[in-house]
Amino acid sequence: MGRFDGRTVRYEPTSVKDLLVEMKDTAELLIDLSYSAVLHGSPTVAHEVVELEHRMDVLQMRARMSLMLAARNPNEAETLAPVLGVIAAADKIADAAGDIAKIVTEEIGLPDAMRGALSAGVETLVRGTVSDDSAYAGRRLDDVDLESETGVRVIAVRRDEDWILNPGATTRLEAGDVTLLRGPEAGVAAVYPVLSGDPYEPDPEAEPGIDDLERAVDSIVLMKNLSELAVDLAYGSVLFDNEELAEEVSNLEIEVDALQSRFEAWTLRAAAEADDPVALRGLIHLGVATEEISDAALTITEGVLRDLDVHPVVEMAVQESDEIITRTVVGEGSRLDGTGVVDGVPATDISTSVLAIRRPDEGWLVGPDLDTTLRGGDVIISKGTRTSAEEFDALAA
């Protein structure tokens, strides 16, 4: 058994597949929460990062115990070794997210102007507790229908010590639930008071006043987006045993390393012009942790890149997956060549979302607000059902 902050972890007979899925969801949520805690200077969201980091410690210890019991011969040990790498990488992501949250919890701090610029590049995320008299209390998410009405999504719910990650349409909100809401600021401003009974107070806007600081901010936003994409692709490469996705993770990791080098140079230059150079310490802290996330994503893909067989426990996880991540190359003169993409959705009849585009002459285009026209030679990273993925691939041929 292991011990984390006074919490004893004992072996429980649990499906390794279920543990892997929960670790994946937890890692992705931790990335979201940690950046949001910093961008909004929110101690409450930072607290949720700490709680989830403890949860990840428990998950990874139980997963290791289960794998040790599952390996009965050298062949099984060989197929389980990459799964151990996935577990270690998820734990590393959790540690990096915890380091990002420390910018808030340990009051390392960030320049106000930088926080304002960063916030403009991401959707608003807030933590709200469902009040006893909330109009949402006791109702299912499909009944409340927040997303279609306001664009706001409930990305997680904490009920006492239990987490509901990726809540679905049938999830019911209860008084006392701690919810994490994400969406456009106007939508959050409308939903938050109804949910919590408290007024919504947005962060004051601020603009960078130093050119080099603005360049550093642009770099860290891109590093954040590329690292998040790398984690998505890394899990996709393992779940679907897809070497092409694993190679894209390697490309992303190289890009993030290059961005971090430029980011550090611009931050040091900005320090010479800043009134309080010590205030930039949190920015350096953020850059280091972001780069560690992309490194962890590369670790996840190690088994795929080494062409090791996928363990049956991973195959079972694939069989239950409704959505898959795919890599598609747009052929010259194909039906996708010249097709517009707005907010990540291509102008086709296929329900596929474009997560990112790697363009030969421009590098990576990434983010939920993608607005571009596809060209021959573009490498598209997309998410959709298996059927839509096949249809999308046919359009690109």
SS (H, E, C) 282-301: HHHHHHHHHHHHHHHHHHHC
Examine the domain organization and report whether 190 and 131 are in the same domain: yes
Examine the domain organization and report whether 220 and 110 are in the same domain: yes
Contacts of 272 (CB under 8 A, 6+ apart): none
The C-alpha atoms of residue 89 and residue 397 are separated, in whole angstroms, by: 35
Are 342 and 334 within 8 A, CB to CB? no
Examine the domain organization and report whether 332 and 295 are in the same domain: no
**Number of CB atoms found within 10 A of residue 395's CB:** 20
Does the residue 4 lie in any domain?
A: no
Contacts of 51 (CB under 8 A, 6+ apart): 158
Predicted pLDDT at 119:
56
**Number of CB atoms found within 10 A of residue 138's CB:** 12
Examine the domain organization and report whether 84 and 213 are in the same domain: yes
Examine the domain organization and report whether 86 and 215 are in the same domain: yes
Are 238 and 82 within 8 A, CB to CB? yes
What domain count does the chain have?
A: 3
Predicted pLDDT at 2:
40
Examine the domain organization and report whether 292 and 392 are in the same domain: no
Report field, pTM of the whole predicted structure over 0.85: no
> Which residues partner with 164 through β-bridges?
157
Examine the domain organization and report whether 186 and 293 are in the same domain: no
Are 352 and 383 within 8 A, CB to CB? yes
Does the residue 191 lie in any domain?
A: yes
Examine the domain organization and report whether 266 and 330 are in the same domain: no
Predicted pLDDT at 146:
82
Domain that holds residue 333: 323-396
Q: What is the CATH number of the domain that holds 272?
A: 1.20.58.220
Q: What is the mean pLDDT of each run of 10 residues along the chain (397 residues)?
A: 50 70 84 82 85 88 82 74 83 91 81 58 77 92 82 86 82 91 84 91 58 72 85 81 86 90 82 72 85 92 77 59 76 88 80 82 76 88 79 84
Predicted pLDDT at 324:
72
